[in-house]
Chains A and B, each alone.
Chain A
Amino acid sequence: MSQTKVAPDFLARSTSRKMKAFRLRKVLRWWPLLIILIALVAAAFPSVLAPYNPDLTNLAARLEGPGFRYGAQHFLLGTDSLGRDVLSRVIWGVRPSVVVAVVAVLVAGVSGSTLGIVAGTIEGGVGTIIMRFADMVLSIPFFLLAILVVAALGPSLVNVVVVLALVRWPIYARVAYGQSIEVSKRESVRSAIALGARQWRVMRYHILPEVLAPLIVVATLEVGSMIVYEAALSFIGLGTQPPAPSWGSMLSEGEQYVSTAWWISTFPGLALFVLALSVNRLGDLIRDVLDPKS
């Protein structure tokens, strides 16, 4: 009698322990959110987090390695060729990356999705023209197109946002188009049309909610790419203009000192890599949640 009592109790405890471990692992999978949160805080309040002024030069402390002390100052990640604190510049560099990536994704995502839904819902000429145009934009190697446009408009952060939005909207348009063609064939949408719903109403209340999930996944993954492309444009001198700190321009400066001062390029690169990795992981996680089949 007592044995039959013990067994289920033991079993219950072991499963609850397993459940706890399982739940813990489920929570830990969301580590990218923590890093993204830190990045957002750094982008919002860089002056609070950064130990020093990122533009403060100190020619007596040029190209010093990580952990260098100069009087009361302590340069945790070393200094660059003008004696500026690398850590402070890395922290201030979060802002252009995050702002450019988020705004570019919002602009490209909203316009691309709208065009894609319109093209997928309205049959005939308009839809075909929109999607043909999207295909054409996609058939230009987009980084080269971006370089051409920024070079023509003049280098600045606003232009980088404009350009990234201009070359990336077809990605969303394609996803939205494919999905809304499928959705608009459904019984529910057809009956809405039969009941006399106007076209914009069908798109807004019947199609958009159905196509939103894949678009959110694409948008999250795109934030990761846009962070890298902002840095790439800054790296070749078309994004953030020096002396304003940005990871891309720090990498390009650090590249010149790679044989003598590895820390100048290594740390902004690491920051860029970790942030891009976190955003990409978040995109994968969101996809798993929204679409458990895949």
Chain B
Amino acid sequence: MGRFIVRRLIQAALSLFGVLTIVFFVVRLTGNPVRLLVPQNASAADIARLTHQLGLDRPLLDQYGTFLVNILHGNLGYSYVQSQPALGIVLGRFPNTVELAISALCFSLVFAIPIGFLTAYFRGKWIERLLMPVVALGQSMPAFWSGILLVLVFAVHWRILPSSGQGGIKALILPSITLGMITLASIARISRVSFLEQLNKDYVRTARTKGASTARVMVVHVFRNALLPVITMVGLEAANLLGGAVITEEIFAWPGIGQLTVQSVQSSDFPVVEAVVLVASAVYILTNLSVDLLYGIIDPRVRIKRVGSR
């Protein structure tokens, strides 16, 4: 177990380092950010002075070193627009996105797991034929359209839920459904496959022949085993949630990092966009790390296999 944790920690650290490197070079290689900072009519001398002042005329590797050292100090640069540390701005908005993402995840799990179970248990029956097309529809539904439709129906037509902003459970409902729809279909599919696999296992038949009731076999035996792959899927879907949050927050004026991203892009506030990407990637990597570790604890086969396969 110890070796498994260490290996996984090193992997996560490497990923994080890779993300930093990719983000740094992407931003530096795509042009001089100074041009975006100065007014349109700035002279070449002004640009050169500011470039020098920001250290942007030094060799790329030199800048990269400074960048890494700064990050170790928790310094992700200053926002061009708000003149505050970019990291602080992002972290200030982050709890709102977490609130939305968790509530969206709950929404999608509450629907996805029963759908996965029903379509597996009643394979070939009308329930499956009814639910599978719904899953297929959900998979192709772009978040920004479903979001607008939800606003149209619940906020404009029936006027029972607010169309935007934050505050109270009511304001959370529509954004959570919009964001949750993105992951619902894929989690439903994974849990269906997983339930199908478990339902055909020998232990299910054994439990039945021993006289256990259907409900007991399902709850005690099948669910426990079938939900393991679903946990991994939830970790992987975290990236989709963070990406989908950009669109969802923009539609519902939800003050999280997604809305911040769009605002920062529109005002060319690169340090903030950079900080958003770095923070989101770190969260994503850490989520998957903890999912993997959790998985190793729940299912001993995982850690034995991974260490043994070296």
Task: Contact check, B265 vs A141: say whether CB atoms are below 8 A apart.
Answer: no
Complex formed: what's the CA distance from A276 to B268 in Å? 31
Once A148-B23, A258-B156 are accepted as A-B contacts, the answer to whether A224 and B15 lie under 8 Å apart by CB is no
Segment among B77-85, B133-141, B214-222, B302-310 that sits at the interface with chain A: B133-141
Segment among A45-53, A194-202, A229-237 that sits at the interface with chain B: A229-237
Once A139-B281, A262-B152 are accepted as A-B contacts, the answer to whether A151 and B140 lie under 8 Å apart by CB is no
A277 beta carbon closer than 8 Å to chain B: yes
Task: Contact check, A144 vs B243: say whether CB atoms are below 8 A apart.
Answer: yes
A255 beta carbon closer than 8 Å to chain B: yes
Task: Contact check, A147 vs B156: say whether CB atoms are below 8 A apart.
Answer: no
Task: Contact check, A149 vs B137: say whether CB atoms are below 8 A apart.
Answer: no
B239 beta carbon closer than 8 Å to chain A: yes
Cβ < 8 Å to B, chain A residues 252-273: 252, 254-255, 258-259, 262, 265-266, 269-270, 272-273
Complex formed: what's the CA distance from A254 to B251 in Å? 11
Cβ < 8 Å to B, chain A residues 196-249: 224, 228, 231-232, 235-238, 248
Closest to A284 in B: B136
Segment among A56-64, A84-92, A128-136 that sits at the interface with chain B: A128-136
Cβ < 8 Å to A, chain B residues 241-258: 242-244, 246-247, 250-251
Task: Contact check, A236 vs B247: say whether CB atoms are below 8 A apart.
Answer: yes
Closest to A227 in B: B142
Closest chain-A Cβ to B27's Cβ sits at a distance in Å of: 6
User: Of B31, B136, B239, B243, which one neighbours A280 at CB under 8 angstroms?
Assistant: B136
Chain A residues with Cβ below 8 Å from B266 are 237
Interface membership of chain A positions 140-159, coded 1 if the CB is closer than 8 angstroms to chain B and 0 otherwise:
11111101110111000000
Closest to A262 in B: B152
Task: Contact check, A236 vs B145: say whether CB atoms are below 8 A apart.
Answer: no
Interface centre among A147, A151, A232, A258 (most CB of B within 10 A): A151
A137 beta carbon closer than 8 Å to chain B: yes
Task: Contact check, B148 vs A254: say whether CB atoms are below 8 A apart.
Answer: yes
Closest to B29 in A: A152
Task: Contact check, B148 vs A144: say whether CB atoms are below 8 A apart.
Answer: no
A42 beta carbon closer than 8 Å to chain B: no
Task: Contact check, B22 vs A151: say whether CB atoms are below 8 A apart.
Answer: no
Segment among B43-51, B205-213, B271-279 that sits at the interface with chain A: B271-279
A95 beta carbon closer than 8 Å to chain B: no
A94 beta carbon closer than 8 Å to chain B: no
Task: Contact check, A140 vs B22: say whether CB atoms are below 8 A apart.
Answer: yes
Task: Contact check, A232 vs B144: say whether CB atoms are below 8 A apart.
Answer: yes
A115 beta carbon closer than 8 Å to chain B: no
Chain A residues with Cβ below 8 Å from B151 are 258
Once A151-B273, A235-B144, A259-B156 are accepted as A-B contacts, the answer to whether A136 and B280 lie under 8 Å apart by CB is no
B95 beta carbon closer than 8 Å to chain A: no
Chain B residues with Cβ below 8 Å from A142 are 239, 243
Complex formed: what's the CA distance from A235 to B265 in Å? 13
Chain B residues with Cβ below 8 Å from A137 are 18, 22
Closest chain-A Cβ to B54's Cβ sits at a distance in Å of: 16
Task: Contact check, A228 vs B277: say whether CB atoms are below 8 A apart.
Answer: no
Task: Contact check, B242 vs A141: say whether CB atoms are below 8 A apart.
Answer: yes
Chain A residues with Cβ below 8 Å from B140 are 224, 228, 273, 276-277, 280
Once A136-B15, A144-B277, A232-B142 are accepted as A-B contacts, the answer to whether A269 and B26 lie under 8 Å apart by CB is no
Cβ < 8 Å to A, chain B residues 118-141: 136-137, 139-141
Interface centre among B139, B163, B251 (most CB of A within 10 A): B139
Closest to B147 in A: A255
A168 beta carbon closer than 8 Å to chain B: no
A281 beta carbon closer than 8 Å to chain B: yes
Interface centre among B22, B244, B281 (most CB of A within 10 A): B22
22 interchain pairs (CB within 8 A)? A132-B14, A136-B19, A136-B22, A140-B281, A141-B243, A141-B280, A142-B239, A148-B27, A152-B26, A152-B27, A152-B30, A152-B31, A228-B142, A251-B148, A259-B156, A269-B148, A269-B149, A273-B142, A276-B140, A277-B137, A280-B139, A281-B136
Top 3 nearest A-B pairs by Cβ distance?
A143-B243, A136-B18, A269-B145
Binding site for B on A (CB under 8 A): 132-133, 135-137, 139-145, 147-149, 151-153, 224, 228, 231-232, 235-238, 248, 251-252, 254-255, 258-259, 262, 265-266, 269-270, 272-273, 276-277, 280-281, 284
